[in-house]
Structure 1
Amino acid sequence: MSAIQKIRLVVLISGRGSNLQAILDQAVSGELPVEVAAVISNRPGVHGLERARQAGVPALVLDHKRFADRPEFEVALIEVIDRQQPDLVVLAGFMRVLTAGFTEHYRGRLLNIHPSLLPKFRGLHTHERAIAASETEHGASIHFVTAELDGGPVIVQARVPVLPGDDPDVLAARVLEQEHRLYPLAIRWFATERVRLEGKRVFFDGMPLTEPLRLEETPLSR
């Protein structure tokens, strides 16, 4: 049996990089068939950059505050990313709204993780909003990125209960534990050509998804 060929991956971050660490750990262990070509942050000094350095991955900073506007920043960001020749770009806590010019440039090879069961609670403060809405279930979603904020086609979701007495921090920690399982799995599917975007639809193993896959129903060995 021939070895799975690794894909080149670029990870965009803005903060501590806990999902980045989950990706790096599986890349190092060989569980994830990727070469992390670079980690790029729009904020200098964040902990995620140190995580990249400790893993021997180039840690780059492109401070969005140094640019006149969003389009100018994105032109520079595309240049830095494309220099790495990535097969896939993933957003791991990258806290910048992206324009259609950027998302179309990477259409079909740009993933994001969002801490809610999309299409519920797009945008920020998802855990507070889930509690305020008296939700009994919450979670995280991996989706292909489009110009619509948190509106791209969803690939897979992980669900957790919302328990009596939960506050946003407790619920966030419960969701984050599942995020660390979810993101490497979706990246592995992309790397092994099991998942792809055609038009506005996600295909998994050659079949169009009518609804997102659910992590608890999807063995990690698949």
Structure 2
Amino acid sequence: MLRLVVLISGGGSNLRALLERCDDADFPAHVVAVGADRDAGGLVHADEFGVPSFLVPFPQYETREAWGEALVEAVRVWAPDVVILSGLMRLLPPAAVDALRPGLINTHPAYLPEFPGAHAVRDALEAGATETGASVIVVDHGTDSGPILARERVPVLPDDSEATLHDRIKPVERRLLADVIQGIAEGRIELEAAA
């Protein structure tokens, strides 16, 4: 049974979907803790599912590196097999990435390497793309540039807004994340090899 720590910044809709999936007795993973860099709304999902949570508030640290060190310490308390960035809207400093790799993965609402960064859905629309997608990657020192574990195309419809397109990407993102976690647990995906 894989031990997962999930890190969030916002409402945690992907976290909730993962917690629901982990409730399935046949799913080979469980969330042991949820962490956040602020008082994120998504922490209510952890409470609802009886999962412990922790805060490492970014403003309390003088540097991003000091915050990263504290975050790694807080994560390691839970001895996770995999750490998932699920809407954590803050780049981890390189030392934190190195400390948590190769079991550090992220979901992204685009078909990487297309449209990396915080505004992937908007960027796809502004570029006039006819399709975008969802991806799950191993986190590296770049912005959404790590090894790709899974990705899938999602069409862009003529009348799509940023909200409607994102709403169609999210279920794909959630399914891919669950598939990757299952693959890691079953040995079909080797994070050491991917990283």
CA distance in 1, matches of 2:22, 2:191: 23
Q: CA deviation at 1:30?
A: 2.0
Cα deviation code 1:51-94 (max 9, x no counterpart): 00100000211111111110000111111100111111111001
What corresponds to 2:3 in structure 1?
8
Conserved? CA contact 2:72–2:100, under 8 Å: no
Cα deviation code 1:160-184 (max 9, x no counterpart): 1101111111111111121121111
Alignment pair present for 1:21 and 2:11: no
Letter in structure 1 aligned against 2:55: V
The TM-score with structure 2 as length reference comes to 0.95
Unpaired runs of 5+ residues, structure 1, are 1-5, 203-222
What corresponds to 1:208 in structure 2?
none
What corresponds to 1:61 in structure 2?
55
Alignment pair present for 1:90 and 2:84: yes
Conserved? CA contact 1:108–1:196, under 8 Å: no
Structure 2 SS opposite 1:39: strand
More moved, 68-77 vs 121-130: 121-130
Unpaired runs of 5+ residues, structure 2, are none
Computing the radius of gyration from Cα coordinates, the structure with the larger value is 1
What corresponds to 1:39 in structure 2?
34
Instruction: Classify 1:7/1:198 alpha carbon distance in 2 versus 1 (closer, same or farther; 3 Å).
Output: closer
Conserved? CA contact 1:8–1:34, under 8 Å: yes
Number of residue equivalences: 195
The TM-score with structure 1 as length reference comes to 0.84
CA distance in 1, matches of 2:144, 2:106: 8
Any residues of structure 2 matched to 1:107-118 within 5 Å, and which?
107-118=101-112
Any residues of structure 2 matched to 1:113-124 within 5 Å, and which?
113-124=107-118
4+ residue stretches of structure 1 with deviation over 3 A?
none
Any residues of structure 2 matched to 1:88-167 within 5 Å, and which?
88-167=82-161
CA distance in 1, matches of 2:49, 2:91: 28
Alignment pair present for 1:30 and 2:25: yes
Letter in structure 2 aligned against 1:113: T
Alignment pair present for 1:50 and 2:44: yes
